[in-house]
Amino acid sequence: MPGDNPPLQSGQSILKSDDWWAVWIGLFVFVLALGPIFEKDLLGWTVQHRVWTDIGQSVRPISDGYQHLSGIMSAVLTYLFILGLTGLAMAAMGKNLLRYAVGFTIIFWVVFGCMVACNYAYIAATPEMRIALDIPWSLSLGEKGFIVAIIIGLIIGNFFPSGAEFLKDAAKPEWFIRTGIVVLGAVIGIKAVGAFGLAGAVIFRGLCLAIVAQLIYWPIVYFVSRRFFHFTPEWAVPLAFGCSTSGASAAIATAGAIRAHPQVATILSTVIIVFTLVELQILPRIAGAFLYGEPVVAGAWIGLAIKTDGGVIGGGAVADALIRANALTNLGIRWQEGWALMTATTTRVFIDAFIGVWTFLAALIWSAYRLNEEGRLHRSKVSPREIWERFPKFIIGFSLTFLTIVAIGLANPQMIKAAETGSSHANALRIIFFSLCFFSVGLAANFRKLWVVGIGRVIAVYGLCVFGFILWIGLLICWVFYHGVMPPEIVQ
C-alpha cells in the first residue's frame, strides 16, 4: 500500500484552505443556531426528514414557526443556503464556481432523494412508531440516508465513471465531514449539558466507559493491523480510530489530520458504513434477546458498538423496545421506557466528544514523525510553524462550538431549552453535510482499484477486530461498569 503523504501546502491563507472554510461555515451555522436564545428563529426553515407512509409528509421545515413553508420550499432553501456558503468558499479558494455549483446541485438532490427514500416507514420506523403509523413490521434502521448515499455513490463511481468524473469537483468528503464535525460540537455540547441532569451513576460511568473502551480498542486494532495484516501506519492509525471511536467520521478526520492518501479515508469509511448496516440488524436483537434483565448494560453496549450517531439512536430504540417486551414476558418486570436508549445515546455523546482530542493527538504525533521508504515511522525535526500548518483546523471550530454551548448551559440553565432548539436545527444541517460526505466517499470508491490497493485486507481486519473481540470486550466493559444499575420499574 502506498505510504507517501500528499505534499503539505505551506503558508495557506485562511481564505484559501478548505480546512479553514470548514471552520468558518460551521461557526456561521452555529451562530445562527444561537438565535432561539435571543428569541430569533434563524434556522427554523431547514428541511427535516420524517418517517412517512405518505410521501407528501416526508419533509417539512424543522421549526413550527415556519409551517407556512411547504416541505419542498424548505428543501430548496436548505439547498440554496448550503450552496451559497460552500460556493462562497470555493470562489475564495479560486476554484471553478460554475462547475462546482452544477456538481453540487446534482449531489445535493441525489442525497436528498436518498434521505427521503430511507425514511419510508417500512425501512425506518422503530417498534413504537409502527403503532402510530399502522404498519405491521419495519427494518428499524438508523441514519439510513448515510448508508444509501454511500451505496448510490458506489454505483455511480463503479458503473458510471464518466458521471463520477463530472461530479468530482463538487465531491469533497473531507471538507463536508469537517464542516459537519464543527457543527457536531454544538450538538454534543447541548447533549452533554442535558446529561448533567440524568442519573449520576449513568453519566459518570458512561464517561469512564468511553475512555476505557477507546484506550483498550485502539492499541489492539493498531497491533493487529500492523503485525498480522502488515498495514503501514498511514492505514493503521485511522483504521484503529475508526474501530475504536466514532466510526467513519473518526477515520476520515484522522486520515486528514495525518495527511494520509485520499484513498485511505475512502476505503475505511466505505467499509465502516457497510459493517454498521450489518451491526444495526444484529446487535439490537442480541441485546433484546439476552440482556433484557440488564437494560442499562444493553444500552451502553449499543452506544459503544454501533459506529454512527443515527445508528445508535435507531439501534438503541429497537433494543429498548425489545428489552421491555422480553422483560415483561420472561421476568414479569415493566421497565420504564427509554433507559436503554438514553444510556446508548449518552455513551455515544462521550465517544463523539473525544473526536477532537484523538484527532489533535494524531496530528501532533504525525507532525514529529515521518514515513520512510519501508513504511515505518521515524523521528523528524519539525518546526512549530509546520506543526501549526499540519494541525487540523476544524478541531478549533469543534472545540469552540462545544465549549460555548457548555458554558452557556452552565452559566444560565434557563437558556438550555432555547439552545437545544437551535442545536437541533443545526444538527439537521450537520446530517446533510455528513450525507454529502458519504455520497462523495462512495463516488470516489472504484472497487477494482481499491481491491488492488487493499480493500480486501481492510474488510478482513475490520471484520476480525469488530466481531472477533471489540463487541465482546465492549460487552464485558459495559457489564463491569453498569451491572446492577437498573432503570425504574413501572408499578401497575
Q: Residue 7: inside a domain, yes or no?
A: no
19/393 Cα distance (integer angstroms): 6
Amino acid sitting at position 237 = V
At 491 the pLDDT is: 72
Residues of the chain with pLDDT under 70: 1-12, 140-145, 194-203, 369-383, 386-387, 390, 447, 449-450, 452-454, 492
At 201 the pLDDT is: 57
> How many domains, the chain?
1
Q: Residue 492: inside a domain, yes or no?
A: no
Q: Residue 111: inside a domain, yes or no?
A: yes
Entry pTM: 0.81
> Does residue 8 contact residue 390 with C-beta atoms inside 8 Å?
yes
30/62 Cα distance (integer angstroms): 16
Q: Residue 11: inside a domain, yes or no?
A: no
Q: Residue 487: inside a domain, yes or no?
A: no
Q: Residue 4: inside a domain, yes or no?
A: no
Q: Residue 3: inside a domain, yes or no?
A: no
Q: What are phi and psi of 487, to 5 degrees?
A: -75, 165
At 422 the pLDDT is: 93
Question: Strand 377-379 and strand 369-371: pairing?
Answer: antiparallel
315/313 Cα distance (integer angstroms): 6
Q: Residue 262: inside a domain, yes or no?
A: yes
At 143 the pLDDT is: 56
At 138 the pLDDT is: 82
At 378 the pLDDT is: 64
200: containing domain: 18-482
- Grid coordinates in use for 60? 417539512
At 373 the pLDDT is: 47
At 372 the pLDDT is: 52
